[in-house]
């Protein structure tokens, strides 16, 4: 059974930079996994940030960037704002037809 | 404005069935693949299923394969999730989402309990 792993929690200071990662139990994450990143705040639906590893949606603030880093998908938040405090989820796709698997989520605290 | 509105969530007994609906507006549904995603309140997201723009290709998470069926009616701008043999662990908020996914609905709550 394939598992997608994220850091359970991270803490960052306002104005700082933090990188969240997303690993696959099958090996290196590549563009063929079409990595997606989402932000979710309590009581709200997920909000899409990044697709295909590094492509921002039209509404994604420039402070959010996606990449492939060291065999993982990565989401980097620069100049972190208090409003960025949220849960962040990655989604990877596998096989054909594609089946999606979410990571367990990272709870980001801005302190 | 893109909108996705889920409906059909309710309390259902274990072993029961339920059909969820997702009403799409503000875009041409027939141009997009669609997803269903579940979330237990206070827990993480769980990807359930995906259907191609023309309805001919479908995929499912292993835990729901054979029990859940995704379908769509592009003419009526609707996407559906038929759920059978429901278990307590199927309880959660069910979201409909478009494409990557990019746009998400606000979800509908399904509770499986006796």
The model's pLDDT over A42-93, given as tens digits with 9 standing for 90+, comes to 999 999 999 999 999 999 999 999 999 999 999 999 999 999 999 999 999 9
CB A84 within 8 A of CB A108: yes
- The three-point CA angle B108-B111-B36 to 5° equals 40
**Interface mutation vs chain B, best among A100, A101, A106, A107, most B CBs within 10 Å:** A100
Residue among A73, A91, A99 with most chain B CBs within 10 A, to mutate: A99
Task: Show residues of chain A in contact with B97, CB under 8 Å.
Answer: 46
The single-letter DSSP state of residue B75 is: G
- Are B66 and B59 within 8 A, CB to CB? no
Q: What's the confidence (pLDDT) of residue A90?
A: 98
pLDDT at A17: 98
Top residue of B44, B53, B55 to mutate, by most chain A CBs within 10 Å, is: B44
Give CA angle at B35 (A36, B98), nearest 5°. Answer: 70
CB contact under 8 A, A102 and B57: no
Exposed, middle or buried by CB within 10 Å (0-12, 13-18, 19+), for A67? middle
d(CA B105, CA B72): 16
Return d(Cα B25, Cα B108) in angstroms, integer.
17
d(CA B56, CA B34): 12
CA distance B22 to B12: 19
Looking at residue B41, its pLDDT comes to 87
* Average pLDDT in chain A: 97
Show residues of chain A in contact with B104, CB under 8 Å. 45-48
User: According to the model, what pLDDT value does residue B45 have?
Assistant: 98
Q: Is the pLDDT of residue A38 over 90?
A: yes
Residue in B44, B100, B107 nearest the CB of A104: B44
Pairing of strands A106-110, A86-94: antiparallel
- Max CA-CA distance within chain A? 42
Whether A47 sits inside 8 A of B62 (CB atoms) is: no
Per-residue pLDDT of chain B (114 residues; tens, 9 = 90+): 999 999 999 999 999 999 999 999 999 999 999 999 999 988 999 999 999 999 999 999 999 999 999 999 999 999 999 999 999 999 999 999 999 999 999 999 999 999
Closest-CA residue of A relative to B93 is A45
A37: contact with B, CB 8 A cutoff: no
């Amino acid at each position: 059974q394939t598992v997608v792993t994220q850091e359970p929690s991270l803490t960052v200071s306002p104005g700082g930079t933090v990188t969240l990662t997303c690993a696959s139990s099958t090996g290196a994450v590549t563009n063929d996994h079409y990595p997606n990143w989402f932000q979710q705040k309590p009581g709200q639906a997920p909000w899409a940030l990044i697709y295909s590893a590094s492509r921002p949606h039209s509404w994604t603030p420039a402070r959010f960037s996606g990449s492939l880093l060291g065999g993982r998908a990565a989401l980097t938040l620069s100049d972190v704002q208090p409003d960025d405090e949220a849960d962040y989820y990655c989604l990877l796709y596998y096989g054909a037809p594609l089946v999606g698997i979410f990571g367990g989520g990272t709870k980001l605290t801005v302190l | 404005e893109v909108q996705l509105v889920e409906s059909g969530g309710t309390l259902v007994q274990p072993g029961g069935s339920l059909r969820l609906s997702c009403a799409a507006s503000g875009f041409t549904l027939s141009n997009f693949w669609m997803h269903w995603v579940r979330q237990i309140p206070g827990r993480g997201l769980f990807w359930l299923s995906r259907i191609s723009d023309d309805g001919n290709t479908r995929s499912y998470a292993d835990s729901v394969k054979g029990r859940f069926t995704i379908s769509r009616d592009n003419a009526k701008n609707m996407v559906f999730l038929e759920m059978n043999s429901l278990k307590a662990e199927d309880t959660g908020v069910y979201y409909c989402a478009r494409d990557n996914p990019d746009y998400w609905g606000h979800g509908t709550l399904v509770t499986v309990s006796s």
